[in-house]
């Protein structure tokens, strides 16, 4: 069985976080990576683009609809 782990945070919070806070978060991410990798459960990881560049894609009644941004309607 495979799982997906998505780590998301508000980008505005990240900008205001002092360097020691950022280092703590990166350390926690590194610990999670090492645990999963050590168990052979890590397949890959990449950063996502900023929220401002997001597009939501939906298919309704066979038609593809796109909306700028990660917004709920």
Q: What string of DSSP letters covers the chain? A: ----------HHHHHHS-HHHHHHHHHHHHHHHHHHHHTT------PPPPGGG-EEEEEETTEEEEEESS---
Contact between 44 and 33 under an 8 Å Cβ cutoff? The reply is no
The pLDDT of residue 71 is above 80: no
Phi-psi region of 40 (alpha: psi -120 to 50; beta: other; left: phi over 0): left
Query: Is-above-0.75 flag for pTM?
Result: no
27 vs 14, residue with greater confidence: 27
> pLDDT (tens digit, 9 = 90+) per residue, 24-69?
999 999 999 999 999 998 888 888 888 778 888 889 999 999 988 7
């Amino acid at each position: 069985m495979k799982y997906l782990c998505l780590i998301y945070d508000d980008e505005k919070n990240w900008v205001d976080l002092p360097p020691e806070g950022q280092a703590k978060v990166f350390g926690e991410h590194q610990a999670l990576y090492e645990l999963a990798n050590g168990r052979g459960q890590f397949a890959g990881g990449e950063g996502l683009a900023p929220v401002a560049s997001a597009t939501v894609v939906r298919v309704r009644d066979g038609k593809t609809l796109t909306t700028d941004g990660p917004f709920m309607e």
